[in-house]
């Protein structure tokens, strides 16, 4: 693939121009890509340090405080793990779609749909069920809610070829609007009608709440780790995973092999939506304990895109990357106490994504710049 820089005026006058050639490299090994991403992460934090200096903050003090706030105590570590759980699931949701070449950015809306469905199941079934069954009911309802919301984008994509980027992005705002309406604009079943102050969600029963084990982690983390292993095995060891990989590598090859693109697109979106929906369900069960729009709509789906990209779309690598991003999210609210804007976390996340994207480009492509005097010919 070449992209020459054309200078017509220079070609007529004999001036120098600089053609740029982009050549695809040979396929790199996984360890090479992983090493490049690690370097990109280090570079991202280095660039973040420069921005902190420009803002008048001491980056060493800020990073040390960030580390203490994320890992300095058992409570801090527990909050980091709680933030990690939904990021593992949204990272897996993005990974499944991206592995097939479906650029879904709808994990945020699917997470919200899962939160709404999971909270409904907890409020309706929770009081009459023992804790294990109540938790299972919430997880199933959240998965179905997320999968159903994803279907709103997958069916038009599979049948009519609509752009999944546009549809999933728009559905994010629709889901957010519905959740806000249920709590702030109506007297719905999800809203706490006894609260005469600012509108809030109805607290779910204790049987549907995930209490931390050993004071550190809750069942939500166990669920997310189990699903990471299941997704990894499904992608590598099942017929469905094989068909997904073939369709992701070459649609023509998939068609030649008799793989139904329509069925594959719908199933991949459904699995992705279910994973994101479970993220919403576990968020309600372990963090908010109610349908709380201000706490749920914190861009966990979009951060999942960063997690999946840094993890090279590898389900098991999603776990440590989600842990890193979860640490960043857990410390954001407390940074303002020390005079540092919580927006620093968002900036660092953005820098990480840019550095990883740039690193992956240069490991896959070689850019050559050669000077040629056009007028000499």
Q: What's the average model confidence in pLDDT over 322-349?
A: 82
- The model's pLDDT over 159-183, given as tens digits with 9 standing for 90+, comes to 998 999 999 999 999 999 999 999 9
DSSP string, 104-146: ---HHHHHHHHHHHHHHHHHHHGGGS-HHHHHHHHHHHHHHHH
Predicted model pTM:
0.87
Q: What's CA 309's distance to the chain center, in Å?
A: 9
In this structure, are residues 245 and 235 in contact, taking their beta carbons and an 8 Å threshold? yes
In this structure, are residues 114 and 278 in contact, taking their beta carbons and an 8 Å threshold? yes
Q: What is the CA radius of gyration of the chain?
A: 23
Q: How far apart are CA 321 and CA 269, in angstroms?
A: 23
pLDDT score for 74? 81
Q: How far apart are CA 55 and CA 49, in angstroms?
A: 10
Q: Report residue 283 as tokens.
A: 């968020």
pLDDT score for 357? 84
For the chain, helix (H) and strand (E) counts, in that order, are 15, 4
Q: Enumerate the domain spans of the chain.
A: 80-315
User: By 3-state DSSP, what share of the chain in percent is helix, strand and coil, each rounded to 5?
Assistant: 75, 5, 25
- The model's pLDDT over 113-138, given as tens digits with 9 standing for 90+, comes to 999 999 999 999 988 899 889 999 99
């Amino acid at each position: 693939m070449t992209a020459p820089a054309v200078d017509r005026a220079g070609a007529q006058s004999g001036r120098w121009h600089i053609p740029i050639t982009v050549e695809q490299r040979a396929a790199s090994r996984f360890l090479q890509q992983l090493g490049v991403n690690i370097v990109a992460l280090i570079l991202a934090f280095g660039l973040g340090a420069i921005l902190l200096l420009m803002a008048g903050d001491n980056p060493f003090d800020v990073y040390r405080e960030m580390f203490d706030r994320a890992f300095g105590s058992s409570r801090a570590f527990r909050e980091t793990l709680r933030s990690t759980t939904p990021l593992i699931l949204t990272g897996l949701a993005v990974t499944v779609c991206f592995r097939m070449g479906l650029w879904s950015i709808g994990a945020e809306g699917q997470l919200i749909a899962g939160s709404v469905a999971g909270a409904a199941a907890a409020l309706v079934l929770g009081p009459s069920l023992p804790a294990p069954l109540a938790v299972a009911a919430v997880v199933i309802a959240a998965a179905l809610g997320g999968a159903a919301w994803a279907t709103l984008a997958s069916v038009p994509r599979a049948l009519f070829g609509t752009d999944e980027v546009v549809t999933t992005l728009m559905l994010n705002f629709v889901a957010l609007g519905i959740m806000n309406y249920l709590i702030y604009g109506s007297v719905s079943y999800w809203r706490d009608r006894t609260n005469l102050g600012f509108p809030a969600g109805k607290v779910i029963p204790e049987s549907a709440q995930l209490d931390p084990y050993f004071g550190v982690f809750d069942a939500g983390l166990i669920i997310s780790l189990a699903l990471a292993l299941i997704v990894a095995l499904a992608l590598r060891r099942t017929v469905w995973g094989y068909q997904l990989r073939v369709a992701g590598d070459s649609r023509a090859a998939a068609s030649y092999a008799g793989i139904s693109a329509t069925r594959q697109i719908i199933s991949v979106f459904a699995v992705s939506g279910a994973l994101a929906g479970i993220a919403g369900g576990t968020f309600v069960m372990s963090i908010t304990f109610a349908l709380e729009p201000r706490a749920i709509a914190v861009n966990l789906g979009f951060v999942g895109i960063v997690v999946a990209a840094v993890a090279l779309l590898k389900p098991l690598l999603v776990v440590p990357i989600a842990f890193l991003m979860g640490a960043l999210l857990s410390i954001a609210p407390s940074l303002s106490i020390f005079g540092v804007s919580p927006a620093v976390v968002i900036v660092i996340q953005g820098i990480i994504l840019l550095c990883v994207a740039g690193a992956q480009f240069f490991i896959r492509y070689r850019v050559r710049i050669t000077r040629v005097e056009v007028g000499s010919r």
